[in-house]
């Protein structure tokens, strides 16, 4: 009888009855405290692992940092040595110039002295002072440095000043009648070259830093009008309008230093007044710089 009463009074199994009440919303499931603690611990560990990975990825390798610092130290040392040698070379060049002038004065060779002065001016071996035109060229404000390749390529930012830009500007100034030109205080001579190495612009193998200041000695108004007639003027205007390169011009009085020096590559003997030439043993021929 008890079994029949149980079946009649409680037709559902207790487990099914509890599940039915939960589905009906009568009883809300409660998570265990252990499950909550485990979930929070796993989340915290995952966050710590992610943070550590990001920090490690952004941290430069110790070997790379050490190599870079050593390279920077070498660059600074070699630059100081080069500057010191250049200063010594300038002093020796001044002494040589004074000795040549004194020797010509003693020989009473005014014609040779005038010719020597003309050649020094033509080869940029003397500093010059006077009025002129100063042109400053700088990268666009939105320019960026690319890793490799031609920085004026289609896929790269075109707002940078390149060696060919300075070449066109300098050639335009020469054509306009400039008497002497310097770029960032590097005097240009007959053998000077403006090149690039990677992202750097070089003048006679010396790297320049932006902005690039081109100083041309001569009549400023004549130089400006000459640039406007030459291709250099429209070229600069196109750089400014199309690529955002910044260009400033002003008339000013300037002092341009002498060039670094001219290497003697070939020499020939001057016949003596008697019409004879020195013997082959004393005749200078090919001289290496």
Residue 223, pLDDT > 90, answer yes
CB atoms within 10 A of CB 158: 16
Q: What are phi and psi of 203, to 5 degrees?
A: -120, 115
Residue-level pLDDT at 287: 33
Least confident of 6-10, 24-28, 196-200, 283-287: 283-287
Mean pLDDT of 112-119: 75
Q: Would you list the DSSP string of 198-230?
A: TTEEEETTEEE-SSEEEEEES-HHHHHHHHHHS
Model confidence at 7, in pLDDT bands (50, 70, 90)? low
Which H/E stretch holds residue 130?
strand 128-138
Model confidence at 259, in pLDDT bands (50, 70, 90)? confident
Q: What are phi and psi of 202, to 5 degrees?
A: -115, 140
pTM: 0.57
Residue pLDDT, tens place only, 146-167: 544 444 444 444 689 999 999 9
Mean pLDDT of 206-229: 92
In the CATH scheme, what is the code of domain 127-260? Answer: 3.30.70.1880
* Cβ atoms 136, 245 nearer than 8 A: no
- Highest average pLDDT, of 108-112, 115-119, 204-208, 259-263, comes from 204-208
| The pair of three-digit structure tokens given for residue 211, joined into one six-digit string | 């902005």
Model confidence at 280, in pLDDT bands (50, 70, 90)? very low
| Higher local confidence (pLDDT), 22 or 134 | 134
The Cα 196–Cα 162 span in angstroms is 8
Residue-level pLDDT at 261: 63
Dihedral angle, C-alpha 100, 105, 110, 113, nearest 10 °: 10
Partner residues linked to 268 by β-bridges: none
User: Which residues, 6 or more positions from 17, have their beta carbon under 8 angstroms from its beta carbon?
Assistant: none
| Higher local confidence (pLDDT), 157 or 245 | 245
- The position carrying tokens 């000695």 is 217
Q: Which of 187, 236, 238, 183 is nearest to 211 (CA)?
A: 183
Residue 279, pLDDT > 60, answer no
Residue 281, pLDDT > 50, answer no
| Higher local confidence (pLDDT), 197 or 188 | 188
Residue-level pLDDT at 191: 84
Q: How far is CA 165 from CA 50, 137, 199, 242, 250, in A?
A: 48, 9, 14, 14, 19
Residue 289, pLDDT > 70, answer no
Residue-level pLDDT at 181: 95
Helices vs. strands in the chain: H and E counts, helices first: 8, 8
Residue 130, pLDDT > 80, answer yes
Q: Which of 213, 232, 221 is nearest to 172 (CA)?
A: 232
| The pair of three-digit structure tokens given for residue 155, joined into one six-digit string | 């896929």
* Cβ atoms 231, 172 nearer than 8 A: yes
The Cα 275–Cα 92 span in angstroms is 34
Where on the phi/psi map is residue 188: left (φ > 0), alpha (ψ -120 to 50), or beta?
beta
| Radius of gyration from C-alpha coordinates of the chain | 40
Residue-level pLDDT at 151: 46
| Higher local confidence (pLDDT), 57 or 61 | 57
Residue 252, pLDDT > 80, answer yes
Mean pLDDT of 101-115: 69
| Higher local confidence (pLDDT), 49 or 4 | 49
User: 251 in helix, strand or coil?
Assistant: strand
């Amino acid at each position: 009888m008890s079994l029949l009463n149980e079946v009649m009074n409680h037709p559902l199994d207790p487990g099914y009855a509890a599940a039915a009440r939960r589905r009906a919303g009568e009883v809300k499931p409660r998570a265990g405290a252990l499950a909550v603690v485990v979930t929070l611990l796993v989340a915290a560990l995952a966050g710590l692992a992610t943070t550590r990975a990001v920090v490690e990825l952004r941290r430069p390798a110790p070997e790379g940092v050490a190599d870079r610092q050593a390279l920077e130290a070498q660059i600074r040392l070699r630059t100081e040595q080069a500057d010191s040698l250049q200063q010594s070379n300038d002093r020796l060049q001044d002494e040589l110039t004074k000795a040549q002038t004194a020797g010509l004065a003693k020989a009473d060779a005014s014609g040779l002295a005038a010719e020597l002065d003309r050649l020094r001016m033509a080869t940029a071996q003397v500093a010059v002072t006077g009025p002129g035109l100063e042109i400053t060229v700088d990268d666009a404000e939105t320019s960026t440095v690319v890793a490799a390749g031609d920085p004026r390529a289609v896929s790269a930012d075109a707002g940078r000043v390149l060696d060919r830009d300075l070449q066109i500007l300098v050639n335009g100034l020469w054509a306009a009648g400039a008497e002497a030109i310097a770029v960032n205080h590097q005097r240009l001579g007959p053998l000077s070259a403006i090149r690039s190495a990677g992202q750097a612009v070089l003048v006679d193998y010396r790297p320049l830093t932006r902005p690039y200041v081109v100083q041309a000695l001569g009549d400023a108004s004549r130089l400006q009008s000459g640039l406007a007639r030459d291709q250099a003027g429209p070229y600069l205007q196109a750089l400014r309008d199309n690529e955002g390169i910044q260009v400033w011009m002003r008339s000013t009085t300037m002092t341009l230093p002498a060039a670094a020096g001219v290497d003697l590559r070939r020499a020939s003997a001057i016949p003596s007044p008697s019409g004879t030439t020195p013997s082959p043993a004393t005749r200078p021929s090919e001289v290496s710089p």
